[in-house]
């Protein structure tokens, strides 16, 4: 048995509000498997396929209780062995395996059971601010998954704990996911103003045909549910009128200006943020902001204050603002006027 750990704060640098972020592993941990030690292993045929045309099926032997495989695990002819059937053939004598190999046979029986089956426990601990609000879940890994069992708990602003096993929990794995390569997830989380859940959902997979209970989401944002999402809307108040944008370099461009009342708010709520917006476009190929006429701006919008609208000078002010904005762009790009 041996262990190792990584201090992620030391390796990747500190994060605000995180006191501890450490990964840890206990390797080569002896597996108890009390029942198998008392009664002996329970050999059954395990494997995969046939999956599709041209894909070869494979069969080997595993213990139905603890998931430990003999060494070698065997390579049985798929034609004669069903997945899950008890394996009784007395073919695991070392002399037999050796003989089969020497003959170059493509199938051979399983070897002896390992003396001291071992597994791994690992995890990751964060003390401090992580993300979201809350999440808790477990994953049952399918055969072939890196982690047999894994689970996590994350509570803002206290931290998070992730744990996983390799080998440990194989009994549960064999009971719950006897076939296939799809791990299953049970999880509930509260993040981004919503409760989400997964109930025996396929890991990293989602399908339109999944039953309703398999995954779901309930929004906690009551304001949004009642009044709708916050968004911009516009109403034309004046224009279009023509104006002239005089650039600092001396060139002048005709533009078409439209005054709009801009509203930022929820559709079903009276309260909103109002402002004035002048939408502009130029019909003559745009105003260049880079040397040699590259990067021509053909339209955009600027905002003007209430006073400019009250004094009916919004169009003049808008032209000055457009000239200033594009002048800044030209300065940034190192614009040189064409001769
Ligand atoms: Zn066993």
Ligand 1 center to 290 CA (angstroms): 74
- 267-281 burial: b if 16+ Cβ within 10 Å, else e: eeeeeeeeebbbbbe
Q: How many CA atoms lie within 13 A of 28 on its CB side?
A: 4
The predicted pLDDT at position 193 comes to: 85
Ligand 1 center to 209 CA (angstroms): 37
The predicted pLDDT at position 59 comes to: 87
For the stretch 146-174, pLDDT in tens is 999 999 999 999 999 999 999 999 999 99
Split at pLDDT 50, 70, 90, the class of 90 is low
Ligand 1 center to 35 CA (angstroms): 8
Distance CA 317, CA 235 (A): 20
Above pLDDT 90, what percent of the chain?
Answer: 49
The stretch 162-191 carries a mean pLDDT of 92
The predicted pLDDT at position 173 comes to: 93
The predicted pLDDT at position 93 comes to: 62
Inform me whether the pLDDT recorded for 318 exceeds 90. Answer: yes
The stretch 172-183 carries a mean pLDDT of 88
Ligand 1 center to 230 CA (angstroms): 59
Inform me whether the pLDDT recorded for 320 exceeds 90. Answer: yes
The predicted pLDDT at position 228 comes to: 86
Ligand 1 center to 161 CA (angstroms): 30
Q: How many CA atoms lie within 13 A of 310 on its CB side?
A: 3
Q: The whole model's pTM is what?
A: 0.62
Inform me whether the pLDDT recorded for 91 exceeds 60. Answer: no
Which of 53-62, 109-118, 307-316 comes out lowest in average pLDDT? 53-62
Tell which wins on pLDDT, 272 or 188: 188
Ligand 1 center to 74 CA (angstroms): 16
Ligand 1 center to 33 CA (angstroms): 7
In DSSP terms, 215 is beta-bridged to 198
In DSSP terms, 149 is beta-bridged to 140, 165
Split at pLDDT 50, 70, 90, the class of 95 is low
The predicted pLDDT at position 273 comes to: 92
Instruction: Give, as residue ranges, everything with CB less than 5 Å from ion ligand 1.
Output: 36, 41, 63, 65-66
The stretch 290-310 carries a mean pLDDT of 86
Ligand 1 center to 55 CA (angstroms): 30
The predicted pLDDT at position 184 comes to: 96
Distance CA 272, CA 274 (A): 6
């Amino acid at each position: 048995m041996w262990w190792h750990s990584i201090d992620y704060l030391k390796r990747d640098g500190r994060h605000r509000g995180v006191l501890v972020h450490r990964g840890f592993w206990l390797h080569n941990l002896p597996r108890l498997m009390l029942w198998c030690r008392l009664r002996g292993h329970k050999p059954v045929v395990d494997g995969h396929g046939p999956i599709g045309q041209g894909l070869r099926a494979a069969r080997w032997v595993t213990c139905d209780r603890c998931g430990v495989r003999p060494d070698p695990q065997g390579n049985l002819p798929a034609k004669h062995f069903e997945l899950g059937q008890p394996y009784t053939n007395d073919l695991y004598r070392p002399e037999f395996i050796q003989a089969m190999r020497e003959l170059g046979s493509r199938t051979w029986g399983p070897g002896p059971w390992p003396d001291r089956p071992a597994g791994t426990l690992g995890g990751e601990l964060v003390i401090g601010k992580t993300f979201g609000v809350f999440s808790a879940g477990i994953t049952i890994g399918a055969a072939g998954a890196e982690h047999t069992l894994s689970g996590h708990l994350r509570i803002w602003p206290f931290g998070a704990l992730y744990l996983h096993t390799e080998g440990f929990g194989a009994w549960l794995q064999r009971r719950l996911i006897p076939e296939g390569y799809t791990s299953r997830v049970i999880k509930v989380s509260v993040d981004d103003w919503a409760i989400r859940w997964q109930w025996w959902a396929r890991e990293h997979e989602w399908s339109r045909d999944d039953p309703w209970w398999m995954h779901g989401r309930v929004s906690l944002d009551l304001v949004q549910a009642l009044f709708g999402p916050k968004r911009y809307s516009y109403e034309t108040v004046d224009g279009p009128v023509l104006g002239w944008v005089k650039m600092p370099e001396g060139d002048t461009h005709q533009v078409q200006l439209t005054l709009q009342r801009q509203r930022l708010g929820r559709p079903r709520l009276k309260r909103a943020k109002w402002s004035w917006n002048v939408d502009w476009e130029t019909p003559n190929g745009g105003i260049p902001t880079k040397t040699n006429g590259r990067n021509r701006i053909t339209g955009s919008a600027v905002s003007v204050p209430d006073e400019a609208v009250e004094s009916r000078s919004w169009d003049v002010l808008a032209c000055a603002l457009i000239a200033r904005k594009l002048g800044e762009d030209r300065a940034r790009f190192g614009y040189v006027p064409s001769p």
